[in-house]
Structure 1
């Protein structure tokens, strides 16, 4: 079994290949990938993602790694709409489950025209590699299969890599190694 460092090295090598970035060799399927990792390695993964982004930014590569932290996007949207403080008050009076549902509805989480999907779509270019992080920080407001399914409907020209704090066996997602997602999602495992 490979170490996390070996898997990350393999992932970096894959991302640098032209065939990966052009989605070649995937049976004409859009390149959606999941890189699963032990949740206790979250800070290590965050540092690695930032390192790879900066390395790409300062290189002469013909592609750009763009990192989208879902938690940061949600907070930014709540601030822009003036809802963040209202969420704090709403949680005090109605509870977290109710505020979570309200945030999901406001963000149109289940729609391919949702605010998060549109945010990502508006910030990518033709030569992007999209890294999605922060899914663990957003639980239970966001579920990874919903985000990926909605993105899959509108972003098909660039590869997308979800960094997932849990386990993915090619069909089933288990967040934090404990919370089983009842929905099937088909994405390629970036590396084993």
Structure 2
């Protein structure tokens, strides 16, 4: 069995435990956990998540928010989806990105993610982190999410690296500061 599959199996066990659901052992910090994996292993992670979503024995309720699907829905809401390719071709990628950032920010994502009531066994599962880049950066979204989801754990499936201080998407991009989250497993366990 691969190291990633072992870590995913352990993840399945851990997210059901009271300590995880209650955020114990986090020194009163926000219960945000980052599960890092190599982006080349995306298919394995997606297969695992498909199994997890349909597991009738799972002792927690996954509230999945695919950030890329949320982004597309926000573009549809603004009725700009069809205009995006033409805008990029005529004005360039940088202009398009600037326009999208001005129209769609963290608050719009959070509005789409909100639900009530939050239940004790809920786990907010963030996926699509790599797909939504560069339109949304997860470190910015996590900062904005904290006041809205402080009562349930947030689990980020992250195709990259997190050393407890810096998030580095795909293990290649310029790292971004983010110190409020915790690696799901110890650093030596996150090496692929």
Assess same fold via TM > 0.5: yes
Give every structure 1 segment of 4 or more consecutive aligned residues whose post-TM-superposition deviation is greater than 4 Å.
Answer: none
Task: Using the TM superposition, give the Cα deviation of residue 181 of structure 1 relative to its aligned residue in structure 2, in angstroms.
Answer: 2.1
Please, which runs of 5 or more residues in structure 1 have no aligned partner?
none
Task: Using the TM superposition, give the Cα deviation of residue 189 of structure 1 relative to its aligned residue in structure 2, in angstroms.
Answer: 0.5
Partner of 1:7: 7
Report the count of equivalent residues: 184
Task: Using the TM superposition, give the Cα deviation of residue 60 of structure 1 relative to its aligned residue in structure 2, in angstroms.
Answer: 7.0
Partner of 1:70: 67
Task: Using the TM superposition, give the Cα deviation of residue 25 of structure 1 relative to its aligned residue in structure 2, in angstroms.
Answer: 2.8
1:13-63: CA deviation from partner (whole Å, max 9, x where unpaired): 1101012112223222221000000110011111111211111xx3373x3
TM-score of the aligned structures, taking structure 1 as reference length: 0.88
1:31 partnered with 2:31? yes
1:178 partnered with 2:175? no
How many angstroms apart in 2 are the aligned matches of 1:53 and 1:22?
A: 21
Partner of 1:120: 113
For the 8 Å contact 1:101–1:141, the answer to whether it is kept is: no
TM-score of the aligned structures, taking structure 2 as reference length: 0.88
1:55-105: CA deviation from partner (whole Å, max 9, x where unpaired): 1xx3373x3111111001100111122110122221121111211121122
Q: Relative to structure 1, is the Cα distance of residues 124 and 49 closer, same or farther in structure 2, using a 3 angstrom cutoff?
A: farther
Q: Secondary structure at the match of 1:165?
A: strand
RMSD, matched Cα: 1.8
Q: Relative to structure 1, is the Cα distance of residues 187 and 60 closer, same or farther in structure 2, using a 3 angstrom cutoff?
A: closer
Q: Secondary structure at the match of 1:154?
A: coil
